[in-house]
């Protein structure tokens, strides 16, 4: 484990930073898991359609997060 210094606006608490890191790690884990399942194949699931829907949902989510981060002055 390592410690990393990050500059954030004054109104951002340490807890929020920890939650952001946890959120990022969970996204990374979820993506890896989804890709592994798609690679192995899931019975009754169209892998191509599932990946397309996953990417669409991810893009929509990131757009929403980006708007929120811009509103807060983080981007």
For the segment 11-33, what is each residue's pLDDT rounded down to a tens digit? 999 999 988 888 888 888 888 88
Mean pLDDT of 42-53: 81
Q: Which domain holds residue 65?
A: 14-71
Q: What distance separates the 2 farthest-apart alpha carbons in the chain? A: 49
* Residue 7 belongs to some domain of the structure: no
Average pLDDT in the chain: 85
* Residue 49 belongs to some domain of the structure: yes
* Residue 3 belongs to some domain of the structure: no
* Residue 8 belongs to some domain of the structure: no
* Residue 1 belongs to some domain of the structure: no
* Residue 42 belongs to some domain of the structure: yes
Token pair, residue 12, equals 């951002």
Give DSSP secondary structure letters for the chain: ---------TT--HHHHHHHHHHHHHHHHHHHHHHHHHHH--TT--HHHHHHHHHHHHHHHHHHHHHHHHHTT--
Mean pLDDT of 56-62: 90
Look up the pTM and report it. Answer: 0.46
The structural domain count of the chain equals 1
């Amino acid at each position: 484990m390592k410690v990393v210094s990050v500059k954030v606006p004054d109104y951002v608490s340490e807890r929020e930073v920890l939650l952001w890191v946890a959120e990022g790690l969970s996204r990374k884990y979820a993506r890896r898991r989804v890709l592994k399942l798609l690679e192995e194949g899931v019975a009754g699931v169209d892998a191509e359609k599932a990946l397309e829907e996953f990417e669409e949902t991810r893009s929509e989510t990131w757009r929403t997060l980006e708007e929120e981060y811009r509103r807060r002055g983080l981007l």
